[in-house]
Structure 1
């Protein structure tokens, strides 16, 4: 397949809004091979490893751990490269008004003795095993901002990790099942789970690390919490969330580790440039939204490549108790409100999980590329139907029904 076919910079915004980014079209085997190489490279000389989600909350945890262990990378190199990217984008804009801005590829950087192993709920077990395979014996391990639905998903990997690691700490704030908490602790892990509706994982890490942090890190945790718990009371929190999504993991950690939540001018300029297209994609998703009645709730549901939080806010302002944003890659974000705090229950029925007011899922309905082609051309019709059916099932159940079995 020609590279041009998956190059978003060649697409008009309406077409870009309904198709996934270039990374979607790379086979998992290629991603896995690259992940193995990167993990081995990062871990071979590391003294500490942080396996973390790669949003602002998870990466905020890495910034704290590196500060506590004196392992922060020099920020100057990252700022210089960011200046270069801005200059290149300005030159491109002169020739093409529809320049696509994909998340930046991880570039070669100096290595930190605190290795950053980016993970997700769907790759957690693989990433734990990579640390067990490639890290030196006695390494200290932190797992941050991740929660397994079942202990069996990580049982063998944790066993392998405990045979290598000196200590394993796990800091999180998601909704944990009591039996999974107990089993993880019984496996020899120092597990600390913060209050899901009061703390983010950066808060938990700040509290649990035995280190006297500068006030900028306290502020960073507070602003990260503002976004991660959907409080939206600090205008800086959206900048952190966008920057974490748009740039490389290492760059984000270096920048916030140096500046905290008060990002430097070069980063603010970069965010402003990226946000132009972001706002257009948000508007496209809002315009195609529908309101559905499920039980006593109004569910706003839409499709598109967009920032789900702002879209969800707009749907709630239009009267939705819950908002669903189906993505071109097949996943979906579910956002609640004061009138709907069962997002994690809905997601648990369709291969996902999360918080009462914020959850994510990816229904297991894609058997081949024809299914994805149907997904794009119908703007997620099947996925929408499956998720709305899950809302209907939850509406028939008592709240927090323990019999809900999370699919995966």
Structure 2
């Protein structure tokens, strides 16, 4: 069969299956993310029906999916709102690092993998999945909730921290000199600083330059600009997701609203492809040998992430219900954890299967945790009758552009 023909057949089957799974999830009131992941396992390496022709296309589509998820999240917030949240939430970022990086580092040392693997596994357990959480916030219609800016601040702090962490990890894995690692780190920090400066100081000029009366031109310019900035950011050892998010906050007003409505269908498609791709590259036979340590690590870090979100939301004056929602929403791990594990496989091959099993567990548990942590905590903890708090309700932020 011709390669193009096989590609079309496989892509058609994947997209059709995603649509049917999405409808099934909607009927039973669940997020479709776990079903997308299981579909990826079924069609991936070692699965029931492995795909061949579409693998490279799906990999590229998965990267675009994460970029679009973060772009549309960025469109919901202005640069000034972002800076304000980051200034107030940086202590939460420090707590997040201590509580969630420590379990991974300790497990690697207990397994005898050495300090470099400990640094790598610490990153795997530390970073929440921006892509999964962005999808969950949209599915549960929580973009306008009072705790959502707190969640996004922690995610952005984590993503920005990758500009420091990834160069350090790469230098450790390669055994390069301190000077070489410092240069890479400075380049990454300068890139983030430059994009933030443009977003804060010249956001209106960027919006004016991008603005167009033609929907077609607006779509092409915004999408092209986002992919360009994301690609440059990634080339300079900064997360492509960070670059896309900063492009989103640099756009404002009618441009942001128009771009949101135009890009939402593309975001929906490529975000689903991202979750399928994650499952495609997991061989089910690699999971059983590392399942017990992965489950133990997942159990510990579910609790530490919930504690992180609860503490951060409490600092922001959010009601107890919102604190539990914030904690549950942060549980999922995903794209960054897999990237980190992929970098570290050369130094410690066993970290790959463990990280994959760990992420699969938490990416499946993430959506249910976001939905059920607050009602479960409400049932299990004693509470007194009190009047409803304004923080228990949502305040709409562009309700017409709520994700998913």
Greater percentage in strand: 1
For normalisation by structure 2, the TM-score amounts to 0.26
Higher relative contact order (CA 8 A, sep 6+): 2
